[in-house]
Structure 1
Amino acid sequence: MPEAVLPYANLQQIGFRYEELHPGVFIGDCFVVLPGREPKQTYDGTNLDKVQETDWSLRLRLAAPAVPKGAWACLPDHAFAEPDSRLGEIALALRELKAETIQECDLLEVRCSLPGITILQDEYDDLNDLIRDGNDLGFLLEEQGQGMPDFMEKFTAALEYENCHRLQEALDIAQNLHCYDFMRADDVGAFGKRELEKRGGFKNPLLRDCMDTVGLGEALLEQQGYRLNVSETAYIRRNDREFQHLRMPAPPRHDWDMTM
């Protein structure tokens, strides 16, 4: 707007007109532009039990003689893994507990963000080991399998498939996700259609629009050893790749001797 005209302009009216033409709102002397579409909401008010928290791995409630009720610390703690000048979660908890080292603390409670994983208070003899495993899990969740597609869905499906309840076993599974074949339930119909095409199922025009590709896909997956997870969102199975047991010992093998 030319400076000569500005003194004669109705700035309030111009502001109202600008607000009509642009999605936004005036806050004081500033105009906040609203997004063109609604952001995706993870929590819709009814699905709290289905919202997965991946910004933390473990929450520890630690106690010390000076503060017997305890204080909470959230992992992963990058400062604990790589000490620097910052105060990390553990250092802040120690300061609140008036303790110098983690050895002065007792574990009152521990929670894991992964579904089904429970950690008993006497499962770890050394709190440093628990913090180390919690940090490792936290870093895995942050990296999301270094960009692996459907990482969390595949990881949680593998935990369910193995009936995993222990943190160290979960860490082993996370490092061996290549040992699992995974398919989203939404892709079963396309899978069934591909299999029909391979078998010549669409050569007859009478059958082209009369085939239940979803039902066929589900049946084939079941034949191939896939299991549908409890939430019915994915199919998963173990493949023949070698599973590396890095934290937990390998389960015993049973070689049955058969005699006539």
Structure 2
Amino acid sequence: MRHPSPVLVVVAHGSRDARHAATVHALVERVRRMRPGLRVETGFLDFNVPSVPAVLGSLAAEGVRDVVVLPLLLTRAFHAKADIPAVLREAPPRLRIRQAEVLGPSPLLIGALERRLYEAGLDPAEKSSTGLVLASAGSTDPEASAVIADIAREWRHTGWCAVRPAFASASLPRTEDAVRELRALGCARVAVAPYVLAPGFLPDRIARGAAEARADVLAEVLGPAPEVARVLLERYDAARRPALTALGA
């Protein structure tokens, strides 16, 4: 007996910047194209509509039973640990909800970051002489900051001159300081890779820091990259697998 796939509810932070929601919706549309037949809904924690409670309430009213909630986040920080679980505790009791893991870290995301750098004009032949700034939004959660530092450390071993983490808020160094540090190390070029999903206030701060320190290359945000959509589906599948096993699927 076949059972319907759980509905995927993608939970984004939300922003006053209209580019944020537009990018989230573009990513969700890519996910739908990659997996026809999977129902995917989008809810926002703040600023944008529909809210997560509204989406969950609507699904319950339709008679949906199984839902996978996926935080559209790159690190497991406060929103994934506290905000989203708090919202889910208030969800209609008829819903069986599983919270998927956040998107990062993943080799697919690193691949997307490199592709964005090459799209921005970096010559792959210059990789070994290029210093790289991995610029994230930043978090007050030490676990999230440690993850960014770990990614930068591992990425260094893939052929870059050097890789340094940077943060747009909460932690140091800032993007401009990391660019200057790489210059001082003797890297011939410095590129900035924003490790963020959508445009907004903090990504704009990353861009200003890159411009202030005269970075040679500034990549676009990850956005609706196919690699991001693939990671999203991987996280969905991992979250739904225990339920499928229990059903004998």
- TM superposition score normalised by structure 2: 0.23
The structure, 1 or 2, with the larger RCO (C-alpha pairs under 8 Å, 6+ apart) is 2
Larger radius of gyration: 1
